[in-house]
Structure 1
Amino acid sequence: MDESPAETVVDPKLSGDDSPSLKSNGSQRTPEELVAKAIAPVKKEFLRSPPPRPSSSTNHQNHVVSETKVVSVKEKKSKRQLKRERRQEQKSARSICPLIAKTGDVSSCPYNDKCRFSHDLQAFKDQKPADLEGECPFMNAEGPCPYGLACRFFGTHKDGVPTGTSDARKKCAEINGLKKDVQKLLWKNKMSFPKADAKLKALGLLGKAKSKMKILEVEKDDETIPSTCHETNENGCSEVNNESDAKLDFVDVPGEDGVDGTLETDEQPPKKQKSVICENFSSAEAKNGDVIFTEKNVGISCTQTKPEDPTDIIPPEADRSLKLHPREKKLIDFRDKLYLAPLTTVGNLPFRRVCKVLGADVTCGEMAMCTNLLQGQASEWALLRRHSSEDLFGVQICGAYPDTVARAVELIDQECTVDFIDINMGCPIDIVVDKGAGSALLTKPMRIKSIIDAASGTVDKPITVKVRTGFFEGKNRIDSLIKDIGYWGTSAVTIHGRSRQQRYSKLANWDYIYQCARKAPDDLQVLGNGDVFSYLDWNMHKTECPVLATCMIARGALIKPWIFTEIKEQKHWDISSGERLTILKDFVRFGLDHWGSDTKGVETTRRFLLEWLSYTCRYIPVGLLDVVPQQLNWRPPTYMGRDDLETLMASDSAADWIRISEMLLGKVPDGFTFAPKHKSNAYDRAENG
């Protein structure tokens, strides 16, 4: 993901002939003229002259160059260097052993000198930053604070150094953690996926590679065949790992779906060939991505050869799941519910808790990559965490191939408590699209069919998908697929009214969303997404297209999370700066509860708070506008708020965002810098999904 220095974040301020407040002849523009130019019509008494821009100064340029050099140096570090630095950091006085910090007893660590953390208690106390204002977030939890001496609110602990062995964090209301034994199996590629492999075999999508269940049965009949296990290559294909001398070799023969392969044995079975239809799709997609999709060719498999009877490898529980038709599953009624979109980076668990307090009905976790989940990456599994307040919760996954998605779906269904699983088929990020996932799937309708078929046939949970109008600008294609998407086993589809090529430029095409919703079958719920920023937007879309189930709210919730309250109460909330600060305090409290109250947890909370503040600065208070409500694409002029805090919150400077974070989390560490991770806080472009 591209990052830019803090000084070059977003410059929504206009200058020169496009000055929002003055015409070339010096007369003031009318509110109507400003709205026509997508400039926020701020009342005259709140306008002020824009500050001089330092971008042309030599010092500013030097600062940007030096900061760029620092970033490039970090990128060149090898994994070995980074690992060595982490180990050194753990051994420093700043990283006290968690057991010693919790108990205050140096002898409490069973690893003694072999512990990878520091045991120098006095050195840790000498360098520990001063306590923060406020109370420890774990004060009301059963048992002592899990961070003990390392807690940045240690002075508020009732009994001084806490004792005992109970872990307050284990008693918190978060679920969907990855078990250590499951993670080890994933690390070693020894996790079995009987339901997914059985469904893939039945659909003819497993290729010639034998499933783990089949291999285990062969071992029972012939002990000369060694133990093997599935691996997933960089393309998401199924492979068989052979750990000793055996008569089993896997030859990867890449296909359009990345799951074709042959298994060479002494008696090699005949190779399966791709059907003519699949080859036609591939060639047509390679030209312009515009493929004619009809019901006649939808039901034809990508392989001509009829798959062999899978009953010899299907366990009883998997067989029962295959017999359940997708339309017989328990469905979720999204109609008229306020749905917070899955948001990369900023849509974390603490932010979702804030939105739940403010009225959101449905929440969804951040997009997780299937390949990373199947590798047992803890950072990716953290995206699936759920809080007890999220009463209707789903997770979003992204994958390029049916076998990868099906196995990830089975794993999530087995290890997590979720109400639905959403498959992302609209992410525009280059690194995702280049691997054939996200919006790249919009050019491969047969791949979409295979993924939905495999996922919906593997688990009983409702499967939903999120798409864009199309891959290329001017070549929308969801309207030609909408009927089939419901037939393939999807419970609901969310349509973002922009193409991948368009990213976030121009307004969302809601007329096309309406067109798709009217074409959809009755049992497929269609949700619209794009530019919902007030209760009037919500009402308009529901009135214009009554068959639309609901509207998903994304950037509108990032800029003003109280949009859910506005929709439910049907009002424009002229929220004060103090009320906005209270919302930020709630986020900080939820963040410390989630990421921890030690120094690492405090700084992680600060980072995510700053990411969020890079969006909230775009909000213009209702009381400052000549025309209400604010539109998502309006560029604000330079203005001052009704008080100093409101003015500070309107700043697009990263330095001012840091000042706000210091009001809530104390002074930043020495050498602290911040640049937003995403550019979707801009008005007409974005780099994230």
Structure 2
Amino acid sequence: MSGFPAGTAPVKAEFLISIDPIAVPDDDAAEGSGGGGLTSRNGRDDPDTNDGGGRNKRKRNKEEKKARQGQNKNRRFGKVRDEQDICFKIAAGTLCEFGAECKYNHDLQNYLAAKPPDLWMPTVDELLSASSGSEETQNVPNSRPARCPIFEEFGECKYGFKCRYLSAHIQKALSEDGTESLSLVVDEAKKAHAAISAKEVNYVGADTQKLLRTKKYVFPVTDAYLRELQEADKREQEIEMERKHLKEAERERREAEDSTVVIAEPEQKQETVTEDKTDNLHTQIAADGLHPDVDTPDVSIRFAEKNRLDWRGKTYLAPLTTVGNLPFRRLCVSYGVDITCGEMGLATSFLSGSKEEWSLVRRHPSERTFGVQIAGNKANTLVPTAEVLAKECGSQGGIDFVDVNCGCPIDLVFKTGSGSALLDAPAKLGKALIGMNKALGSIPVTIKLRTGVKDGRNTAEKLMTRAVGGGGESGWGIGCITLHGRTRQQRYTKLADWEYIRQCVDAVRAGEADEDLPPVPIFGNGDCFSSHDYHSAVDQYHVDGVMIGRGALIKPWIFTEIKERREWDISSRERLEGVKKLAEFGLSHFGSDTSGINTTRRYLCEALSFQYRYVPIGLLEVLPARINDRAPRFRGRDELESLLASPNSADWVKISEMFLGPAPEAFVFVPKHKSNAYESQG
């Protein structure tokens, strides 16, 4: 568009405030990376802007620019609690078995007297029809019925008297002596239905976590497999020693040939022995399941009983750090996503019984196909993690697949040999994947890759063709492969290389045809931001589907667009409905007490830190929108649309207050990127 910097979204003139693009953070944040400044899409530093955004701009000095760039590292989000807390058992309307010895308060009347007033969860229509801002909507008239999202979904609220929407599920009664008694309401019919349709699964209890933490958890499959590897390594060492002896014998024989004394018979005998030993050596290698040119064994395994993944044409929400939690996945499910995967968890943390890590495997019943992603660097952590996942979550359909992260680029993961470091260690990766297949039984193992570690050195093709074998010498029995079209070094500085993705898919398909193997689903990943992008990728690049990450963070409704094959000019009201859903899903997961509400508020703000980047397609001159285009400064078609586009983190908190009530003074949301902590520039 004329007059606009390259890579700028083509916003119609009537909505423009300035052609200067809004500072957009480095998208490595989507993968949880540290560092990284603000860069424009053409690689140059973000342009300096003045407070008014016009042409007569004042250039910031170095200190000002540095203060606005990069990430707010080491963010800490402390829990916000009630000033006067109460025993959870008493709050739930039951008796505490510890009685007077309990360290928590048991005085319910004093707690209720000191408790902040109840909140009100408005509908979007009620919110928009209010004459003033969000604060007024929190003043609850007696005629306005209260709503507790947890009670409405489950028929009871386990937070009881601690719930900030208590009036929705409390019953008052007067006794004969005139005293008032309070009791919690339970809707038995709704409770019974919710036990099937709404109750989260994959709760790994404290007992299991303690066994893991104290290293008393039993891993029979892992132990047997690791013994196999040790024995195979021992055999390989013996074979290697035999090779050295044969080479030494061959060297001595050649020296004997060059000597002045030639003894015919012994020489012929020596040659025969050498050939026999070489033949025996290769026979032993083949019997052990080794290839003479492979530096590590591939232990054979049967894959006939593995669940086959039929994912062609489906939509797949990428595992996303921080934002991709259960409430956000539920939101994407409401927009039509088919496959979801939990946030990446570290194998070592799972095995140490980390409560936080095990919370990542929780699944909502609405998630039709759900997987767990883990990161690790060797078989002795990945295999036991797979075994405990199968034992604790697999028996009742809690997980449909386990994904191994072979693409995470962040230093914290890469330097331990995990994530994208595994791209350069195929032998080690193969050992781990084969062992995981053994440990998981019928549950498939999938992998997510990048094209390579360094630019100009794509290695994914060789790794993928090796991975899809059906249990032969070089096959790892992979159930699905996702390939992100960027190297680890590249991060998000260039567009994804979809031509290389097609090259890898074609190579795998050719190998499968040669070996008469059933096709393994292959998904592409990178820059998908519209229905057009999705269906073009499937048609042009031969993938079975597209995994969507940043596109879903910025516009979760992308899955509706793909299903309905349309570009949705979603209204500000419809977008606010999605924000409300996310708030309700957060309360259901994190809780409706003071602590849960502000944990929900924090993750709602994290989600808004991506959603503000959406430019409504009704404001664009050219479609489809592109994910790497940066928005100039624009105004929306109404006040709400402008608010939802604000890059100022204070406005994200303001949006959260519409549904979660005023943020307490103790609540502080520190945005991941420093630029979002500054006031909006017009």
**Structure 2 length normalisation: TM-score?**
0.72
Q: CA deviation at 1:130?
A: 2.1
Q: Displacement of 1:535 after TM fit? A: 1.1
Shift of 1:328: 4.4
Preserved contact between residue 144 and residue 162 of structure 1 (Cα < 8 Å): no
Q: 2:151: which partner in 1?
A: 139
Which letter does structure 1 place at the counterpart of 2:477?
A: G
Partner of 2:410 in structure 1? 429
> Quick check: 2:347–2:381 contact (8 Å CA) kept in 1?
yes
CA distance change for structure 1 residues 403 and 679 in 2, over 3 Å: closer, same or farther?
farther
Structure 2 spans left out of the alignment, 5+ residues: 21-48, 53-57, 122-146, 173-181, 242-289, 469-474, 513-518, 678-682
* Corresponding position of 1:26: none
Task: Flag the 1:177–1:275 CA change in 2: closer, same or farther, 3 A.
Answer: farther
* 1:334 positional shift: 1.5
SS in 2 for 1:571: coil
- Partner amino acid, structure 2, of 1:46: F
Q: CA deviation at 1:113?
A: 4.0
1:478 aligns with 460
Find out whether 1:393 has 2:370 as its counterpart: yes
Compared CA separation, residues 124 and 457, structure 1 to 2 (3 A): same
Equivalent runs, 1:17-96 vs 2, <5 Å: 29-30=1-2, 34=4, 37-49=6-18, 52-53=50-51, 93-96=83-86
**Residue in 1 that maps onto 2:167:** 155
Out of 422, 431, 445, the residue aligned to residue 441 of structure 1 is: 422
CA contact (8 A) 1:205 1:402 kept: no
Q: 2:669 pairs with 671, 674, 677, which one? A: 674
The aligned residue for residue 590 of structure 1 is 585
Which of the two has higher C-alpha Rg? 2
The one-letter code of the counterpart of 2:86 is: I
SS of residue in 2 equivalent to 1:174: coil
The reply on whether 1:354 has 2:341 as its aligned counterpart is no
Shift of 1:541: 1.1
Distance 1:297 1:118 in 2: 70
CA deviation after TM superposition for structure 1 residue 354, in Å: 1.0
Alpha-carbon displacement from aligned partner over 1:523-559 (angstroms, at most 9, x marks no partner): 332210000001111121112123x111111110111
Which letter maps to 2:440?
Answer: V
User: What's the counterpart of residue 617 of structure 1?
Assistant: 612
The equivalent of 1:489 in structure 2 is 477
Contact kept in structure 1, 2:50 and 2:59, CA below 8 Å: no
1:414 aligns with 2:391: yes
Deviations 1:94-122 (A, max 9, x none): 3211112122x7xx322234323333445
Cα gap change, 1:143 to 1:553, in 2 (>3 Å): closer
Aligned partners of 2:480, 2:321: CA distance in 1, in Å?
Answer: 21
In 1, the alpha carbon distance for the partners of 2:366 and 2:417 equals 35
- Residues 225, 435 of structure 2: 8 Å contact kept: yes
Aligned residue among 525, 531, 537 for 1:535: 531
Alignment check: 8 A CA contact 1:206 1:403 kept: no
In structure 1, what is the Cα distance between the partners aligned to 2:332 and 2:360?
Answer: 17
Q: Is the 8 A contact 1:93 1:123 kept in 2?
A: no
CA distance in 2, matches of 1:415, 1:505: 40
Which residue of structure 2 lines up, in the alignment, with residue 182 of structure 1? Answer: 208
The answer to whether the 8 A contact 2:498-2:541 is kept is no
Unpaired runs of 5+ in structure 1?
1-28, 76-81, 209-269, 277-294, 304-321, 683-689
**Residue type at the aligned position of 1:649:** L
Aligned residue among 541, 545, 555 for 1:545 = 541
Corresponding residue for 2:493?
A: 505
Deviations along 1:376-429, one digit per CA (max 9) or x if unpaired, are: 111111110011111111111111111110000010011112111100011112
- Are residues 142 and 481 of structure 1, via their aligned partners in 2, closer, same or farther at CA, if it must alter by over 3 Å? closer
Q: Where does residue 92 of structure 2 map in the other structure?
A: 102
Q: Secondary structure at the match of 1:466?
A: strand
- The Cα of 1:205 is off from its aligned counterpart by 7.7
Deviation at residue 179 of structure 1 after TM alignment: 2.3
The answer to whether the 8 Å contact 1:393/1:419 transfers is yes
Residue aligning to 2:360 = 383
Aligned in 2, Cα 1:352/1:205: closer, same or farther, shift over 3 Å?
A: farther
The Cα offsets for residues 70-105 of structure 1, whole Å up to 9 and x where unpaired, read as x88x98xxxxxx9xx99xx98x843211112122x7
**Distance between the aligned counterparts of 2:530 and 2:645, measured in 1?**
19
Query: CA offset at residue 348 of structure 1?
Result: 0.8
Q: Name the counterpart of 1:224.
A: none
> 1:148, 1:162 within 8 Å by CA — same for their partners in 2?
no
- Render the CA deviation track for 1:617-663: whole Å, top value 9, x for unaligned: 11011110001111011110000000000000111110111111111
Distance 2:185 2:106 in 1: 19
CA contact (8 A) 2:344 2:372 kept: yes
> Which whole-Å deviations, capped at 9, do the CAs of 1:250-269 have from their partners, x for residues lacking one?
xxxxxxxxxxxxxxxxxxxx
1:146/1:207 CA distance change after superposition, 3 Å: farther
Change (3 A) 1:471 1:152: same
The one-letter amino acid of 1:440's match is A
Q: What amino acid is aligned across from residue 213 of structure 2 in structure 1? A: W
Could you tell me whether the CA contact under 8 Å between 1:203 and 1:454 is conserved in 2? Answer: no
How far apart are residue 499 of structure 1 and its match?
0.9
Checking the alignment, whether the CA contact within 8 Å between 1:97 and 1:117 is kept in structure 2 is yes
SS at the partner of 1:138? helix
What's the TM-score, normalizing by structure 1? 0.71
Structure 2 distance, partners of 1:425, 1:373, is 18
Indicate the RMSD between aligned Cα atoms, in angstroms: 3.5
Letter in 1 for 2:376: G
Superposed CA offset, 1:342-401 (max 9, x none)? 111111111111111111011111111111111111111111001111111111111111
Distance between the aligned counterparts of 1:63 and 1:545, measured in 2? 41
What letter matches 1:110 in structure 2?
Answer: E
Give the counterpart letter for 2:595 in structure 1: K
What percentage of residue pairs aligned between the two structures are identical?
43
- AA matched with 1:101: A
CA distance in 2, matches of 1:470, 1:655: 39
For residues 274 and 559 of structure 1, do their structure 2 counterparts lie closer, same or farther at Cα, with a shift above 3 Å needed?
Answer: farther
Indicate yes or no: 2:425 matched with 1:456: no
Q: How does 1:620-639 map to 2 (within 5 A)?
A: 620-639=615-634
Cα distance in structure 2, aligned partners of 1:415 and 1:659: 41
3-state SS of 1:455 partner:
helix
Take 1:536 and 1:143, find their aligned partners in 2: how far apart are those partners?
A: 42
Partner of 1:563: 558
Q: Is this contact kept in 1: 2:345–2:357, CA < 8 A?
A: yes
Shifted more, 476-485 versus 142-151: the winner is 142-151
Residue 297 and residue 428 in structure 1: after superposition, are their counterparts in 2 closer, same or farther (change >3 A)?
farther
CA distance in 2, matches of 1:623, 1:37: 21
The correspondence of residues 625-664 of structure 1 with structure 2, limited to 5 A, is: 625-664=620-659
CA displacement, residues 224-262 of structure 1 (integer Å, 9 cap, x when unaligned): xxxxxxxxxxxxxxxxxxxxxxxxxxxxxxxxxxxxxxx
1:168-317 equivalence runs, <5 A: 172-204=198-230, 299-301=294-296
* Structure 1 counterpart of 2:257: none
In 1, distance between residues paired with 2:364 and 2:675?
Answer: 26
- Alpha-carbon deviation of 1:153? 0.2
Distance 2:380 2:358 in 1: 19
Q: Which residue of 2 aligns with 1:25?
A: none
Cα distance in 2 for partners of 1:132, 1:207 equals 63
SS at structure 2 position matched to 1:203: helix
Q: Distance in 2 between matches of 1:535 and 1:182?
A: 43
| C-alpha distance in 2 between matches for 1:201 and 1:617 | 53
2 CA distance for matches of 1:349 and 1:514?
32
1:346 alignment partner AA: V
Q: Is the 8 A contact 2:169 2:184 kept in 1?
A: no
Aligned equivalents of 1:469, 1:296: Cα separation in 2:
26
> How much does 1:203 deviate?
2.9
Structure 2: how far apart are the matches of 1:594 and 1:123? 28
